[in-house]
Amino acid sequence: MSAGINESTRVVVQGITGREGSFHTRQCILSGTNIVAGVSPGKGGEKFDGNIPVYNTVSQAVEEDRANTALVFVPAVYAGDAILESVFAGIKTVVCITEGIPFHAMLKVKRIANTFNTLLIGPNCPGIIVPGTGKLGIMPTQIFSKGHVGMISRSGTLLYEAADQVCRNGLGISTAVGIGGDPIIGSDFIYWLEQFEQDPNTHAIVMIGEIGGDMEERAASYAKAHISKPVFAFIAGRSAPEGKRMGHAGAIITGSAGTVTSKETAFEQANIMVIRNLALIGQTVSENLSLK
């Protein structure tokens, strides 16, 4: 797949010396990710784990170590500026794990990232993983085995559950991405549907959506017109009361828009197989595919 992680990915971790950044940097390295540098303002010149250079700025990591991808573990109050620092330094893929970035800050960040043609995954997301190649984020690597099912999810924990089921049913994952649960995020379902359609290693797609907004309805319309591969979909939030925010900041129903019914109807009209029981995702995909 052209987007995400491949043999040319060179990662700089923003916030590498913090508690979360240091822990997950080590986990990413164990999964095979090529992390070439870290950034922690004021700690430039240090070495992370003895061999990864730490810089004060992202531009230094780009100049000295040819970093082209950023993984952001920066507190919410600074995370928007951290993303923009990478964008302005020429980074073309930014994965932001941080949650709680102010809404208005993300409006600015998304507009600028789009202007610079930077792929932004997140914020408030688990990241992206390509089993056997590496990961950018916090996914539990051990539940993802290599295969041909592409996965896109607004929820991190539901992504883990669905991926575990798919793998336990004898299939595997080509790429899995958590796009984030905030109202303003970078890449959406449509972007990744397009990527998976073009990816020869992905033979089927699983979408994990949830109540709130119209992202899933728009994705259904796109899939109907442009996706030839089989698509499966699950929508979380069936029992959520109207007007009640449930978990993610984007998971709120307003009127008749954003409901489970409206999203499932849109999927069915697009010939996407709707799975209504979370526990049956892996079984359903396995029974309807021959990818083993």
Q: Is the pLDDT of residue 207 over 60?
A: yes
Q: Is the pLDDT of residue 209 over 60?
A: yes
Q: Is the pLDDT of residue 238 over 80?
A: no
226 an active-site residue? no
Assigned token pair, 29 = 């390295």
Q: Is the pLDDT of residue 244 over 60?
A: no
pLDDT of residue 242: 59
Cβ contact 246:253 at 8 Å: no
As a CATH number, domain 11-121 is 3.40.50.720
Q: Quick one: 142 exposed, middle or buried, by C-beta within 10 A (0-12, 13-18, 19+)?
A: exposed
- Domain 144-287 matching CATH 3.40.50.261: the answer reads yes
Span(s) in the chain for CATH 3.40.50.720: 11-121
Span(s) in the chain for CATH 3.40.50.261: 144-287
Q: Which residues lie below 8 Å from residue 90, measured CB to CB, with a gap of 6+?
A: 59, 62, 68
Cβ contact 237:211 at 8 Å: yes
One of 24, 148, 203, 248 is an active-site residue; which one? Answer: 248
DSSP sequence for 100-162: ---HHHHHHHHHHHHHTT-EEE-SSS-EEEETTTEEEE---GGG--EEEEEEEES-HHHHHHH
Interval 82-95: pLDDT, tens: 999 999 999 999 99
Mean pLDDT of 226-231: 98
Interval 170-202: pLDDT, tens: 999 999 999 998 889 999 999 999 999 999 999
